[in-house]
Amino acid sequence: MNRAFLALLLLPCLASTADAKPFACPRAGGDFVFGQEANFNTLDQMSSATISTRNIAMNIYETLMTRDENNNPILELAEQMTEAPDHLTFTFKLRQGIAFHNGKKMTSADVVASFDRYVKIGNQRSILNNVAGWDAPDPATFVIRMKVAQPTFIESLSSFSVPIVVIPAENRDIPAQQMTSPIGTGPFQLVEAVPGSHVKLKRYDGYQPNTAYEEKTGFGGYKQACLNTVTFRIVTEAGARVAGLKTGELHAVEDLPTKSLPDLKKDPNIAILPLRNWWIQLSSPNTSTPPTNNLMFRRAVQAVLDMDEIMDAASDGNYSLNVGYQYPNQPSYTDAGKETYNIKDPALAKKLLAQSGYGGEPVILLTNKDYPPMYNSALVMQQQLQAVGINAQMKVVDWPTSVQMQSQPDTGWNFFFTGWGTQPALGALATMQFLADPNASYRPKNDKGDPELLAAWNDMNTLPDAKDRQAAFARMQKMALERVYTVPFGSFTKVQGARANVKGFVPFRIPRMSNVWFAN
Amino acid sequence: MLAALLRRLFSAVPVLAIVSLITFGLIHMIPGDPAVAIAGLSATPEQISNIRRDLGLDQPVLGQLWRWYANLAHGDLGRSLMMGQPVLDVTLKRLPVTLALASYALVLTLLLGLGSGIVAALKQNTWVDQAAMVLAMVGISLPNFYLGLLMIILFAVELRWLPTGGYVPLSQDPLGWLATSTMPAISLALLQAGLLARITRSTMLEVLRQDYIRTANAKGLPRRLVVLKHALANALIPIVTVIGIVISLLISGSVVTESLFSIPGIGQLLTQAVLNRDYPMVQGGLLVTTALLVLINIGVDTCYALLDPRVRHDG
C-alpha cells in the first residue's frame, strides 16, 4: 500500500469518532426553491464546464472520487482504491448496494461505460491522456491502467471541474449535451428541466449514503436528501433574487448585491452566508506585443496598482487581498512572490517606466461587460495607469469576443481581464496549467513559453514527492509574479443568503441540497 | 381575396430566405464562438479547441451555410449547440409561452390604449383628456425593465399580491398563469398602450370632425351609435396598422421582460443564443419568429380587407 492509498482510507476514519452517529434528517419534507443567477443549457455534466450546470447536476450525479470540504481527494462511489507499486495501475473497489435513479444496480460495467463516454465527449478529457485503458475484472472492481506514471493523476481524477460522473451503461453512446434525462446515483433525481426557467429535483428514495462518513463534506461524504423536492429557479436579475428571498418565495439565493445587504441583515427571517475565496480576479498581459512585451514596463504596471481600489470596485466591496494563485485556506497556498503584490508606489512605477523606454503608445485593456467585475477592475486599473502617464485605453467587447481576441496575440490588446474560480479551488496544478504551453495566458512570442517557468511546471507534474511538487509550485508562482505573467488582484467573496428556517445549507462550490432541511 | 392571400403567402418565401441568409451572415460575423460559452469561464484553450472540433466549428463557413440550407430544405433547423436539442422542438416549446404573454399584454394594450384614446378624443381638452395623455406619456417614457422592478417591489414584496417571478404554463394552471403573467404583461403593455392611446385619440378626432359624423349627429342618432359604429369603424384602419406593429413590438419587447421575470419564452431563448453564439438556435429561432411576424402582417392586411370594402374589391 502506498501513501496515497493510506490517506484515502484514513480520511473517512479521521472524520469519524467512536460515538459519532451519521447525519439523520431532523425534519423531512418541503419544497426548497433556490434562486440561481445564471441560466443552464444542459444537465449533461460530462460535456459542460459551466457553474450553472454543475450547481444542479452535482446533486444528481456522483463520481468514483471527488473532493472534500478542503478540496482534498476522497472516495465517493468507491470504497477502496489501491495504487500499484509501479504507479501504473489503480484498482477501485466499488461500494455495494448503490442503484441508479432508474432502479438499476450500479456495477463496474457502468463505470467503464462512463469512462468510455467521457473520453469521447468529456469536456476535460485530457485528464485521461496518460491512461492506457480501463476495465472491469468483476462487477465490483474497476481498474485504470496508465501509460506512464503520473503522480498527480488522483488529483486530476477527483477534479470537480468537469467530473467523470457515473452514468448507467445504456447511456454510453448519447452524444455530447444530449443527455436530456440525466440518471445518476445522487441523493436527488430529475423531475423536469426547463432551460431559462427552472429545474425540479425530487428525493431519490433508493439513495445509499456513504457510510464511511458521518456528514457531507465537499462534494461527497454522508449525504441524505431531507427535502421532498428542490427547485432551482433561474433568476438572473439580482433585484428579483433579493425580492424573492424577502418574500420567502426563494428559500436561498446566490450572489446577493452588496447594496441590498444592510437591509437584508436587518431582516430576522434571512441569514447572510458569505462564501469566501470564490474566485481570483486577475489580468493577463500580452507578452508578444509592445509595450507589454517589455518586462520593465510590466513591472511598472505592477508597481502602480492599488489592489484594494481595484477589488473594491470589482467585487462591490466583497473581497480579500490575496497573493498568487491559491486561496489562503488551501494547503497548497503560498505567498511566494508577495513582494510583487499591491505595491501601489507611483514613484517607483514612473522610475520603471522611464527605464523601460515607454514612449506613450496606447496600452489596450481588453475587457467585457458580461461580467461586471472584469469591466470594473479594468476601469480602475485604467485610471491608475493613466495617473502615472501610461496611455491606457479600454476595449470593451462581449465575453466570447474577448476570449477569442485573447487567444490571438496580434488582435491589438495588452491586458486581458478574467477570473479563475474553479481551478484555484481544485489546487495548484489545475490553476498553473493556464501559464503552461500551449496557449499560455500571457501569450508568449510564437507560443513558446518561458523555459524556466515550464521547467517548474514540469516538476509540479512529475516529481514523485508531494513536498517537492509544492516547492515547484511556489517556484513557478514566484517566477510568474516577478516576471508579471499575470496580475492577480485578489479573491472574491460570493454572498449567498437563505431564509432563517433553512438549516444545514452550507455555502460551497455548488449549492448542496443534501443534509438541508426546514426547521419549521 | 383568397388569391390575394395566397399571393401574400408565396411572397413570404423569399422574405424568409433572405432573412435566414442575413441571420446566418450576421451571427457568423460576430467574433467569438459557442465553444467559449460551453467551456465555461475558466476553460483552458485546449478544452475550447476540443469543443470547437466536436461541434464542427472548425469547418469552413460556406460548408456550414450549405449544410444549413440543405437541412432546411428537409425541414430540419438543426440542433442547438448549447442544449443539444432540435432547434424546432425548443422553439415550439418556447414560442407558446411568449405568444400567451404577448396575447395577454395585447388585451391589456387594447383595453387601455383604445379605451383611453377614445375617451380622450370624446372629452377633448378636458381634464379627462389631459389625464389620459399624461398617463400615456408615462407609459411611453418608463422603461419596461424599470417598471417591472417597481411592480415587483410594490405588488410582490410590499403587498404580497403576486409572485416575484417564475412561470406556470396556462395549460397546467390558468390561475397560476394569470398570477405569474400579470406583472410581465402590464410592464409590456403600458408602453404600447401609451402609443395606441395617442394614435387612437388623434385618429378619432380626425374622424369625429368629418361631415358624415356631423350628419349622423344631426339626424339624432344616439351618441354611442355614432361613436362606435360610424366613427370608430372608420378610424380602425390606421389603428389596425398600429396594432400589427404593436404585436411585433410585444413579441420583440418580451426579451427584457422574460429575463426579469424568469419566463422561459422565445425572447429569453434568443438572447441567450446570441450571447452564447449558438448558431443553429439563432438561425432557426429567428426564422420561425420571422415567419410568425410575416403571418401577423398578412393577418393585418386581411383585416384591412374585412374592415374596408374598397380594399376587398381592389384586392
pLDDT, one tens digit per residue, over A402-413 is: 888 888 899 999
**Whole-number average pLDDT of chain A:** 93
Looking at per-residue pLDDT, the higher value among A373 and B40 belongs to A373
State how far the alpha carbon of A318 is from the alpha carbons of A188, A254, A270, A491, in Å.
32, 14, 19, 9
* Chain A residues 217-236 with CB within 8 Å of chain B: 233-236
B303: its cell numbers = 383585416
Of chain A, the percentage scoring pLDDT greater than 90 comes to 82
Say yes or no: A187 and A324 in one domain.
no
Q: Do A423 and B48 touch (CB under 8 A)?
A: no
pLDDT digits (tens, 9 = 90+) for A320-359: 999 999 998 888 999 999 999 999 999 999 999 999 999 9
Q: Is B157 on the interface with A (CB under 8 A)?
A: yes
> Chains A, B: CB contacts under 8 A, how many?
163
Instruction: Note whether residue A186 is domain-resident.
Output: yes
Q: How far is B106 from chain A (nearest CA, A)?
A: 23
Is the predicted pLDDT of residue A362 greater than 60, yes or no? yes
Q: Do B40 and A49 touch (CB under 8 A)?
A: yes
- Are B180 and B167 in contact by the 8 Å Cβ rule? The answer is yes
Which residue of B51, B83, B259 to mutate against A (max A Cβ within 10 Å)?
Answer: B83
Grade residue A9 by pLDDT with cuts at 50, 70 and 90: very low
A246-250, A459-463, A501-505, B48-52 — which is least confidently predicted? B48-52
Please classify residue A20 by burial: count the beta carbons closer than 10 Å to its beta carbon, then call 0-12 exposed, 13-18 middle and 19+ buried.
exposed
Q: How far is B120 from chain A (nearest CA, A)?
A: 36
What's the confidence (pLDDT) of residue B175?
Answer: 95
What number is the average pLDDT over the span A464-473?
95
pTM for the structure as a whole: 0.88
Say yes or no: A144 and A286 in one domain.
no
Tally of CB atoms within 10 A around A318: 22
What's the confidence (pLDDT) of residue B178?
Answer: 96
Q: Is B271 on the interface with A (CB under 8 A)?
A: no
What's the confidence (pLDDT) of residue A12?
Answer: 53
What's the confidence (pLDDT) of residue B152?
Answer: 94
HSE-CB at B145 with a 13 A cutoff on CA atoms is 8
Please classify residue A119 by burial: count the beta carbons closer than 10 Å to its beta carbon, then call 0-12 exposed, 13-18 middle and 19+ buried.
middle
Instruction: Note whether residue A233 is domain-resident.
Output: no
Instruction: Note whether residue A327 is domain-resident.
Output: yes
What is the domain count for chain A? Answer: 2
Instruction: Note whether residue A419 is domain-resident.
Output: yes
Helix (H) or strand (E) holding A354: helix A346-356
Say yes or no: A67 and A165 in one domain.
yes
Q: Do A198 and B166 touch (CB under 8 A)?
A: yes
What's the confidence (pLDDT) of residue A357?
Answer: 96
Residues in A closer than 8 angstroms to B157, CB to CB, are 243, 246-247
Residues in A closer than 8 angstroms to B31, CB to CB, are 397, 400-401, 404-405
B45: its cell numbers = 484553450
Q: How far is B39 from chain A (nearest CA, A)?
A: 5
Q: Is A51 on the interface with B (CB under 8 A)?
A: yes
Nearest CA in chain B to A37: B262
Q: Which residues of chain B have pLDDT under 50?
A: 315
Q: Is B156 on the interface with A (CB under 8 A)?
A: yes
Say yes or no: A415 and A442 in one domain.
yes
- Minimal CA–CA distance to A289: which of A443, A177, A431? A443
What's the confidence (pLDDT) of residue A17?
Answer: 47
What's the confidence (pLDDT) of residue B41?
Answer: 64
A454-484 in b/e form (b: 16+ CB < 10 A) is bebbebbbebeebeebbbbbbbbbbbbbebb
Is the predicted pLDDT of residue A146 greater than 90, yes or no? yes
Q: Do B44 and A180 touch (CB under 8 A)?
A: no
A55-64, A87-96, B43-52 — which is least confidently predicted? B43-52
Looking at per-residue pLDDT, the higher value among B50 and A450 belongs to A450
A3-12, A100-109, B268-277, B285-294 — which is least confidently predicted? A3-12
Looking at per-residue pLDDT, the higher value among A88 and A370 belongs to A88
| Predicted ipTM of the assembly | 0.82
Q: Do A49 and B38 touch (CB under 8 A)?
A: yes
What's the confidence (pLDDT) of residue B45?
Answer: 73
Determine the 3-state secondary structure of A430 from DSSP. helix
Instruction: Note whether residue A270 is domain-resident.
Output: no
Q: Is B146 on the interface with A (CB under 8 A)?
A: no
Instruction: Note whether residue A470 is domain-resident.
Output: yes
* Chain A residues 392-411 with CB within 8 Å of chain B: 397-405, 407
Which range of A22-36, A119-133, B144-158, B258-272 scores highest in mean pLDDT? It is A22-36
Name, in order, each residue with C-beta under 8 angstroms of A322's C-beta and a sequence gap of 6 or more.
A277, A280, A328, A488, A490, A491
Say yes or no: A60 and A85 in one domain.
yes
Is the predicted pLDDT of residue A4 greater than 70, yes or no? no
What number is the average pLDDT over the span A138-146?
98
Say yes or no: A319 and A214 in one domain.
no
What's the confidence (pLDDT) of residue B313?
Answer: 60
Q: How far is A19 from chain B (nearest CA, A)?
A: 43
Say yes or no: A59 and A175 in one domain.
yes
Nearest CA in chain A to B161: A247
State how far the alpha carbon of A273 is from the alpha carbons of A22, A261, A265, B315, in Å.
25, 11, 11, 68
SS3 readout for A252-297: EECCCCHHHHHHHHHCCCEEEEEECCCCEEEEEECCCCCCCCCHHH
Grade residue A482 by pLDDT with cuts at 50, 70 and 90: very high
Angle at which helix B61-73 crosses helix B2-29, to 10 degrees, equals 150
Q: How far is A420 from chain B (nearest CA, A)?
A: 6
In terms of residue numbers, what domain contains A162? 3-13+36-194+208-221+505-514
State how far the alpha carbon of A276 is from the alpha carbons of A167, A280, A319, A425, A507, in Å.
32, 11, 8, 11, 9
Instruction: Note whether residue A520 is domain-resident.
Output: no
Grade residue A400 by pLDDT with cuts at 50, 70 and 90: confident
Say yes or no: A77 and A121 in one domain.
yes
Is the predicted pLDDT of residue A11 greater than 70, yes or no? no
What's the confidence (pLDDT) of residue A393?
Answer: 97
* CATH number of the structural domain spanning residue A156: 3.90.76.10
Say yes or no: A367 and A510 in one domain.
no
Q: Do B42 and A422 touch (CB under 8 A)?
A: yes
Residues in B closer than 8 angstroms to A49, CB to CB, are 38-40, 42-43, 47
Nearest CA in chain A to B41: A50
Give me the residue from A49, A176, A250 closest to B54, CB to CB: A176
* CATH number of the structural domain spanning residue A347: 3.10.105.10
Q: Do A235 and B51 touch (CB under 8 A)?
A: no
Instruction: Name the CA dihedral angle for B306, B307, B309, B315, rounded to a multiple of 10 degrees.
Output: -50
Is the predicted pLDDT of residue A6 greater than 50, yes or no? no
Say yes or no: A213 and A296 in one domain.
no
What's the confidence (pLDDT) of residue A97?
Answer: 95
Instruction: Note whether residue A182 is domain-resident.
Output: yes
> What domains, with CATH codes, occur in chain B?
2-73 (no CATH), 87-314 (1.10.3720.10)
B92: its cell numbers = 415550439
Looking at per-residue pLDDT, the higher value among A43 and A438 belongs to A43
Residues in A closer than 8 angstroms to B48, CB to CB, are 403, 407
Say yes or no: A416 and A465 in one domain.
yes
Name, in order, each residue with C-beta under 8 angstroms of B174's C-beta and a sequence gap of 6 or more.
none
Q: How far is A53 from chain B (nearest CA, A)?
A: 10
Looking at per-residue pLDDT, the higher value among A484 and B5 belongs to A484
Say yes or no: A213 and A282 in one domain.
no
